[in-house]
Amino acid sequence: MLNFLRRAPLLTLVGLLALPLMLNAAETAPQALRIGYQKGSVSMVLAKSHQFLETRYPHTRISWVEFPAGPQLLEALNVGSIDLGSTGDIPPIFAQAAGADLVYIGSEPPKPKAEVILVPENSPLKSVADLKGHKVAFQKGSSSHNLLLRALQKAGLSFNDIQPAFLTPADARAAFQQGNVDAWAIWDPYYSAALLQGGVRVLTDGSDLNLTGSFYLAARPYAEKNGAFLQSVLQTFSEADALTRSQRDESVKLLAQSMGLPEPVIASYLDHRPPTAITPVNEETAVRQQHTADLFYDNHLVPKKVDIRTRIWQPAETKGAKS
């Protein structure tokens, strides 16, 4: 623990107060934790770069697996290849509809400036309404799927009014650059990379679209067996995310090295997503996520209705407590 404090001197007061919980969790830490993360998972990438979890839990074998997007990550979680991961709002809805036994263990508020629909700089498309009849690339079952649906609805359109191109971020970027699609719904840091490369224009972002945010999910059996440990892991991620404010320059360098992106791209990305603490999924967040799930079902984008509340994990000490 002292080694960790030397490596991360800027622990927040909240982090210091949480140390007793972490010590207790360390006493019962599991033998292994397999973490799924994405290129844009700032808190996870920083925690990995600083080896915060490896230092805090020396007797737990920590492994990290990168995924191109949330759907692939949750597929791995469902088949038991990883224990914990973070995604946007839509992947867990698709996973639950497919029968995955996963639980929501934490959430972060939305970062609407970090989700956009891009068009070429010289595109004749000037508004979301202009997307009618055009080809739009996005990762199916991702947060960009939700961004696009909500933006279309706000403009009086539906998915039937566009030509969807279901592509991973890397394939979508290539199709966009080659002119094979007319627009691209995407999240950061892909957005910032495209923006700084030039030749693109933001058609709209996630502002005023009532986005839900991102979630931390675990396999239900793992969460039920290692609840206190997972709580302290999420606290560690929150502390890592806070470094983007308290140690911005160092964080930009570390993220650039880890993500394989230029530092200006990372700086732009951080400008779009202020650091926020990871918290349990509260009632307001549950209501928003349920509304999103119902929205996708009503638009025939998921095969069946899902009840989000059946997948919200609670620490043992809060189960059964009245709110």
Same fold, 2-110+212-311 and 112-205: yes
CA count, 13 A, side-chain hemisphere, 264:
6
pLDDT at 270: 94
Per-residue pLDDT at 248 exceeds 50 = yes
Work out the average pLDDT over 29-45: 94
Work out the average pLDDT over 68-95: 95
Class of domain 112-205: alpha beta
3-state secondary structure 212-277: CCEEEEEEHHHHHHCHHHHHHHHHHHHHHHHHHHHCHHHHHHHHHHHHCCCHHHHHHHHHHCCCCC
In Å, how far from its chain's centre is CA 18?
A: 24
Per-residue pLDDT at 26 exceeds 90 = no
Q: How far apart are CA 147 and CA 124, in angstroms?
A: 21
pLDDT band at residue 321 using 50, 70 and 90 as cut-offs: very low
Work out the average pLDDT over 5-29: 45
Work out the average pLDDT over 291-313: 94
List, edge to edge, every strand of the sheet that includes 102-108: 61-67, 32-38, 84-87, 214-219, 102-108
pLDDT at 39: 86
In CATH, the number for domain 2-110+212-311 is: 3.40.190.10
Work out the average pLDDT over 294-316: 91
pLDDT at 44: 96
Per-residue pLDDT at 323 exceeds 50 = no
- Sort strands 84-87 and 214-219 into parallel, antiparallel or unpaired: antiparallel
pLDDT at 190: 94
Q: Which of 247, 234, 278 is nearest to 11 (CA)?
A: 247
Place of tokens 């206190």: 228
Question: Which has the minimum average pLDDT: 13-17, 21-25, 152-156?
Answer: 13-17
CB 226 within 8 A of CB 30: yes
- Phi-psi region for residue 199, left (φ > 0), alpha (ψ -120 to 50) or beta? left
Give Cα separations from 154 to 117, 128, 158 (angstroms): 14, 9, 9
Structure tokens at 71: 């759907």
Q: Where are the domains of the chain?
A: 2-110+212-311, 112-205
Burial class (CB in 10 A: 0-12, 13-18, 19+), 130: middle
pLDDT at 40: 85
- The helix (run of H) or strand (run of E) holding residue 299 is none
Per-residue pLDDT at 199 exceeds 50 = yes
Structure tokens at 302: 């998921």
% of the chain at pLDDT higher than 90: 83
Q: How far apart are CA 213 and CA 159, in angstroms?
A: 22
Work out the average pLDDT over 15-26: 45
% of the chain at pLDDT higher than 70: 89
Work out the average pLDDT over 265-292: 94
pLDDT at 316: 63
Per-residue pLDDT at 11 exceeds 60 = no
Q: What is the mean pLDDT of the chain?
A: 89
Work out the average pLDDT over 266-286: 93
Structure tokens at 305: 């209705």
Q: How far apart are CA 93 and CA 295, in angstroms?
A: 11
**pLDDT, tens digit, 9 for 90 and up, residues 100-124:** 999 999 999 999 999 999 999 999 9
What is the helix, strand, coil percentage profile of the chain, to 5?
50, 20, 35
